[in-house]
Amino acid sequence: MTHATDSTDFATLALPEALARNLDSLGYHTMTPVQAASLPPALSGRDVRGQGKTGSGKTAAFGLALLARLDVARFRVQTLVLCPTRELADQVAEEIRRLARQMHNVKVLTLCGGAPIGPQLHSLEHGAHIVVGTPGRVEQHLRKGSLSLEHLTMFVLDEADRMLDMGFEDALDAIIDDMPRTRQTLLFSATFDAAITPLADRLLTNPAIIEVESTH
């Protein structure tokens, strides 16, 4: 049963029609707490620092926001999502494609290490709206000039805690230096300890801070 006034109802968000009508078919009937807290500020263009345990629905929290704010008519890399591993990047790209199923011609490209670079170069020549990748390989494409972040309007850093644990700090620094300063940034993590604070402070401007209690 759904209630039109329920704050966890996706209908309260005024999502683009093609995104909204797809949610039911995915079995997403109500927002998870991290989605209910982060989607309103993210959709309004605000930076977000979102914390929620594994399985709390963080992918759709940023996925719906980035798709709602995408200008599909502009075939440029507008969104970069960085994940700590190839497996996570593949999962995130799949979820974004599922969410975008009823939008027309949204191109999501994955750029991960451990995969041959040739096909990635070929795909980049054809272009994309959204790049999902791991820091090492994305940095490599920036250095080669095969990827440009000139038209980037949104940056998502997923699993920021693991990113630092895995030693991606230098690659992240290089990528961040290459991004336009005027952009929206969403930073998600399962945990937020002091180690992330300098990175979060550097990346985020007046962010909405979302902390969802563990429901064990």
Name the site residues for ligand ADP (rule: CB under 6 A).
27-28, 31-32, 35, 52, 54-60
Q: Which is nearer to ligand ADP, 18 or 117 (CB)?
A: 18
Number of chain positions touching Mg ion (CB under 5 A) = 1
CA angle, corner 149, sides to 148 and 153, nearest 5? 150
CB of 43 to ligand ADP, least distance (A): 15
Q: How far apart are CA 199 and CA 193, in angstroms?
A: 11
The DSSP code sequence of 59-122 is HHHHHHHHHHT--TTS-S--EEEE-SSHHHHHHHHHHHHHHTTTSSS--EEEE-TTS-HHHHHH
Q: Choose among Mg ion, ligand ADP, none what residue 129 binds, the Cβ cut-off being 5 to 8 Å by kind.
A: none
CB of 53 to ligand ADP, least distance (A): 7
- Using CB under 5 A as the binding rule, the residues of this chain from 43 to 102 that contact Mg ion are 58
Q: Which is nearer to Mg ion, 32 or 153 (CB)?
A: 32
Do the Cβ atoms of 173 and 127 come closer than 8 Å?
Answer: no
CB of 32 to Mg ion, least distance (A): 12
Angle formed by the axes of helices 17-25 and 58-68, to 10°? 150
CB of 197 to ligand ADP, least distance (A): 21
Q: Choose among ligand ADP, Mg ion, none what residue 41 binds, the Cβ cut-off being 5 to 8 Å by kind.
A: none
